[in-house]
Structure 1
Amino acid sequence: MSQKDVSEEGPGQNSATQDSSELDIIKANIESLMRSNQLSKAYELSHQGLKKAEQSGDTGSIFDISLALAGQFLDRNIPDSTIYYSKKARDLADSNEKLKQALNSLGNGHAKAGRSIIAIDLYENVLSIADSLDNDRYSVGVLINLATAYSSQGDHNKGLQYYFEALERSEELGNNEFIAIITNNLGDKYNELENYDQAEYYLNRSKEVSEAEGLQTNLVRVLLNLGNTYMATERYDDAEDAYSKVLSFHKKSGNVTGEIQVIYNLGMLHLARDNYGKARDYLNESFERSREVNILPGMFYSTNGLGELALETENINEAIERYQMGVSLTEETDNPSMKIASYHNMYTAYKQAGNASEALAWLEKGNELEEDMRSLESDRLRAQYETKFDLRRSEQEKQLVELQREQQQAQLQQQRWIIILALSGITILLIAGLILLRINQKRKNANLKLIDTNRQLKDLNQTVQDQKEELERLNNIKTKLFAIIAHDLRGPLGSLQSLLYLLREHDLSEKETNELTANLEKNMLENSSMMDNLLGWAQSQMNGLSINKRVFDLHLAVQSVLDQFTLQLETKGINLVTEVPENTMIYADYDLMKLVLRNLIANAIKFSNSGSAIYIKSEKSGNGMYKVAIEDHGIGIPEKDRAKIFSDEHFTSTGTNKEKGSGLGLNLCKEYVEKHGGSIWFNTEVNEGTTFYFTIDAAEEQELINA
C-alpha cells in the first residue's frame, strides 16, 4: 500500500516537495544572516531565493522573501525598492496576518521616503488589524513605527507617548528584543532633544539587553548613539571607545557606508579634542572612501569637516576652498538641507575672513533657500493629504466593484438554477417556482444593497467634494496670507537682520556704514508700506470694510502722503510734481484715500527710472466727481501682466532698483475706490510709462456747509 502511494505521487510532486524544503532552508538562512548583521550576504541570498520561489510558483515563499527584501532595502535607505517589494507582498497576502505585515512594511517605506502622513495612515490600519487579531507583540512594533513617524513630523510629544506605550506593552510581554529597540529609540530621541542624562540612561539599558540577548544589529546602533551622547557631553575617551567598537562591527559585516560614517565621527571627535593631525587623517579617509563608492553625503560632510578644521587652524583660504567644494557637491543632489549647510559654511568663512559683502551674499542666499524649503514642505504635506484622500477613494471604489461582483455572481447562480430546474421537468415545477422566487428575492436584495451603496457613495463623494471646495477656499486665503508674510515680509526682515548683524559684528568704514544705513532705512520704509497693506487686506478679509466718509482737502492729503517718500525720491533722483489745486474738497474716508494715494505713488516711484518725473493731477468732471491721475514715465507694464493688475491673484514684480512689494497694493486700491462708488483704471506703454486714474466724489455744497 505504501509503495503504491509513493508511485502515485510521481516525480513532479517529489520535486515540488524538494523545492519547498530548499526554500524553507533559504528563508531560515536569510533570517539568520539578517540577525547577525551580514547584510550583503542576506541581500544576495534573498534574490536567489525569490527567483527560485517564482520559478516554482510558491506564493507563500514569494511573500516571505519579498518582505525580507523590503526590510533589507529599508536598511540600505532605498525606500522606493522597499515600497515595491512591500506592494508585491501585499498583493499576495491571503490573510489578515500577512496583510498587516505587508502594510506595515509599506508604511516603513513611505516613512523612509519622508511621506509620514501616508505612513501614519498605514500604521493605524495595521494597528487596527493587529488588535483585532489580539496580536499584542505585533501591536508593539506598530506603536514603535507610529512613534518614529510622528517624531519625523516634529511632534515629539506624540512620538514619546507612543514609545512609552510600546515600552510598557513590551515589558508586560517580557519581550527583550522590543525593549532593546525601544530604549535605543528613546535614547536617540532624547539625544535629539539635548536631554543627555535621559539619553544615556535609556541607551545603557538598551546596551545591557542587547548584549544579554545577542542582538548585534541593535547593539551597533546603541553604541553609535552612545558615542554621540558622549561627544555632546565632551566625554571624548568614552566616545572614541564606542565609535571604535562600531567600526569593528561594520568591518566584519562589510557595511561600507557604516564604516565611512564612523570614520567621519572619529575625525570630528579628534577635531573637538584639538588633535588636528588625527582629525585630518580620519576626515581625509572618510572623504576618499566616500568618493571611491560615490557616496555624495559622505563626501559632503567630510569636506565640510576639513573646512571646519581649516578654520580652527586659521587657514581661511583652505576653509573657503573646502566649503566651496561642498557647495559644488550639493549641486549634484536635491538635498536642500545640505545646500543650506554649505551656504552657512561659506558665510562663516567669509565672515571670519572679514569680507562683509560676500558674507552677506551667502547669508541671504541661505535665507532665500530656507523660505523656498518652507513653501516646498507645505506643498509636500498637501500632496500627501491628497494622496491619502485618493487612496481612501480607491478603497471605496474597490468596495463598489466587490458589490457589483456579488451581484453578477447572484445572477450567474440564478441562471444555473434555471437550467437545472428546466431539466427537472414538470413534476418539480412548483419547487422550481419557489426556488426561482427565492433567488429573485436575493437578486432584488443585492440590487437594493447596490443601489443603497451607490447612493451612500454618491452622498459621501458629494460631501467630500463640498468639504474639499470649502477647504480650498479657506486654504487659498491662508496660503495667500502666509505667502505674503513668508516671502515678501520675511525676506526684507531677513535682510534687515543681516544688515544689523554686520553693523554690530564688524568694524566697518564710514562709507560702508552709510551704505548699510541707507539700505536699512529703505528696507524699513518698504516693510512699513507692506505692513499697512497687509493689515488693511487682512481686516477686509476677516471683518469686512468699514468706511467713515468726511469732507477734506485732497491737496492736503496728497502733501501728507508725499512726506513719506522723501528718501525714495532723493535716492532715485525723481522729480515729483503736484498739480492738485488747493481746496479740492472731496467726500471720502480720509485714511483709506491716503492708502490709495500712497500705494499708487509708491508704485510709480518703484517702476520709474532714476532722473525721471512723476505727476499727480486732478480735475473735476461733470458728474460731481474728481478724476485723479498719477502719471509716471517709467518702464510701463508688459502685455502679459496687464490682465493680472487688480486681480485676486498674488502678483508682484521687482522695481527698477530691485524694490519689492507685497502684491496687495493695487488690489486694495481697487477695493477701496469701488467701495466709495468710484472706478479705477490705467493706461500704459512699455518703456514709455503708466498712468493710473481713479474717481472720487466731490464734496457737495451741503456737505461743505456741514463740514
Structure 2
Amino acid sequence: MKIVFSTFLFFIVLGHSCLYAQSEADKLEAALKGELADTARIRVLTALVKEYQFVDFTKSQAYTEEALKLAEKTESVKHKVDAYLTASVLYASTGDFSSALRFDNRALELDITTKDSTNISRDYNNIGHDYYDLGEYDDAYFYFTQSYRIASVIKDTLRMLISLHNVGRVFKELGQYDQALDHLQLSLKMSQEHHDTEGIAYALHEIGDVMLRKNQYDSALNFLTDALAKVRSMHIDEIHPQVLANIGSVYLSKSDFSKALAYYDSAYTLHAKTNNRYGMAEIELGRGIVFIKQKKYDEALDKIEKSLVIARELNARVLEIRSFYQLSVLWETKGDHKKSLEYFKQYKLLEDTLFSQEMQGKLLRDQIRFETESRDTQIAALSRLQTSQRSELRKQEFVRNILVVVMALSAILLITVYRSGQRRRKINMLLLNHQDEMEKRSEELERLNQVKDKFFSIISHDLRSPINALAGLLDLIDKGAIKPEEMHKHTKELKVRFNHTRTLLNNLLDWTLLQMDKLNLQAAKINLYRLVEENIQLLGSVQDKKISMLNEVPENAIGFADSNTINLVIRNLMTNAIKFTNDGGRVVIAAREQGREWIVSVSDNGVGMKPEVLSMLFDKTAPYTTRGTANEKGTGLGLILCKEFVEKNGGRIWVESAEDKGSTFYFTLPKS
C-alpha cells in the first residue's frame, strides 16, 4: 500500500507540473502568433523548446528547427548562439550526440569572435560533454580542462566546479575510481558551500555510479537514493532517467531482478518521452542482462541486439562495446562457444580501438599538464596568503613602533610589483593560449595544402601523360610514319592510357564534389548482385590480363544506400584487385549478412601488401600508390574515395592482406 500511495502521489505532482508547463507554453504560443521581430521570435521559440523538451518531443523539435532557420537570417551573434545551444541540448537529450557536437562547435566559433571568456568556457564544457557521451574520453578531458582554465582566469567559481565534476566523470569511465572520487567529492563540497542544490544532486548521482562500479552496492544505493530525492524535488529532468537506471543496475547486481526491471521500466518511459534513443538502448541492454541472469535467453538476445543496432546507428562506441561483451556472455552461457568467441573478438577489437595507446598517452599528457597548472595555482594562492599575513604583522608592528612605516611602504611596493607580475603572467598565459590556437590552425592549413598539392600533382602529371601520347601518335599518323600493321599495337597502348585517364578524371570530379559538399546522396534499395554483375561485364571488356571475375554475392542481397557512390566503390575495388593480380589470376566479389548490415568483400590472389603499407592506404594527406603487375599506373585516390563514400553511406571499410597471398577489401552497407 505504501508503494501504491507513493506512486499515486508522484503522478499527482507530475500532473501539476505538466499543467503549469502547459500554461506557460500556451502563453508563449499565443505570443508566437503575433507580429514579432526575428530576434524576439527566436527568444520565444527557444523558450518553447525548453517547455516541450520533456513533454512533447515532436513540438520541441519543430520549434528548434524554426529557431535555427531564423537564426541563420539574423546578424545577431547572441541569438544565433542561443539557437545553436538550444538545438544542441535537444539533440543530446535524444542521444544524437554527433548532432549536438556540431551545434556546440558552431556556438564556440561565434563566441570566439566576441572574445566572451564566460561563454567560451561554457562552450568548451558543452563540447566536452558531447565527446564524453560519444566515448572519446581523451577529447572530453581536454575540453573539460580547457573550460576549467578559462574559468579560473576569470574567477568563475561555478564553472570551475562544473569542470571539476566533469573531469571526475572522465576518470570514472576510464576505471580510475580513486581519482574520480577525489574530483567528485571536491565538487560536492564546493556545491554544498555555494548552496548549489542542483550540483549536489549531480555529484551524488556520479559518486553513486562510482560506488556501483566498485561493487560497493549498499553505499551506491544510499548515494543514488539521495540523488533521486533531490532530482524529483527539483524536477531535474536531464538526469532523472539515468539515476533510475543506475538504481536498477544496483538491484541487478544484488540479484533482485524484479526491482531492477521496475526501475529500468521507469527510466525507459522517461527516455521515450524525449525520444532519447541512446538512453532507451542502455535500458534495453540492462534488461537483456537481467534476462540472461533469469535464463530467458531468447528475450535477452532480442534486447541486447536492439541495443547494439541503436549503438551503431548513433556511433555510440562505448554502448556498442558493452553490447558485444554481453552477447559474448549470452552465447557462452548457452554453450555456443564459437559465437561467443566471435562477439568477444569484436568486443576486444572495438575496446582496443577506443582505448588505444595513443588515446591513453594523449590523456596522460593532458592530465600531467592540468595537474601541474593546478599545483601552480595552489602555490600562487599560498604565496598570496603568506604576503597577506606578513602585511598584517607589519601593521601590528606599526602600532608599536614608528619604524614600521618604512616597512609598510616597502610592503606596498612589493604588493604593487607582485600584482603587476600577476597581470603580466595572465596576459602571457592568454598570449600562449592564442599562440597554441594559431599553431593548430597553421598545422591544419599545412595539412590541407599538402592535400591540395598532391591532387594538383596528379592533375599536372597523370593527365598530361596520355594527352602527350595521343598528340605524338596523331603527329606520327599525320606524317605517315606508322604502318597499318603497327596501328593495333599503338592503339592498344593508347586505350590503356585512356582508360586510366578516364578513371582518374571521374575520381577527381567525385573527390572535388565531395570536398565542396556538393555531392547529394540519395539512399534507396540497391541490388548488390546486379551491381557487381554490371561491373564484371564492364571491366571484363577492358582488361587484357585474362583475370577471371566471380560474383558470389547472393541474388537477394538488397542494401540501402546511394547507388552511384556504391557503384563507384565496387568498381574502384575491383579495378584495384585487377591491377595487382597477375595474368590468369582470380578476383572474387562476395557478400554476407551480419545483423542489420551487409559485409561486401573484394578478394584477389595477387601480390598482396606488406603490413606497413596497410596503414597508408586510406591517408588522404599522402595517398599511397604503386604500379600494378602489368606496370599499370595509379594515384591512390580511388581508395580514399572509397573510404569517403562508404562512410557517407553509414558504413565502414578495411583491408586484410599478406604479401604474395593476395588482398581482401571489406566494406559494410545498411540492409534494406
Question: TM-score with structure 1 length normalisation?
Answer: 0.43
Of structures 1 and 2, the larger Rg is shown by 1
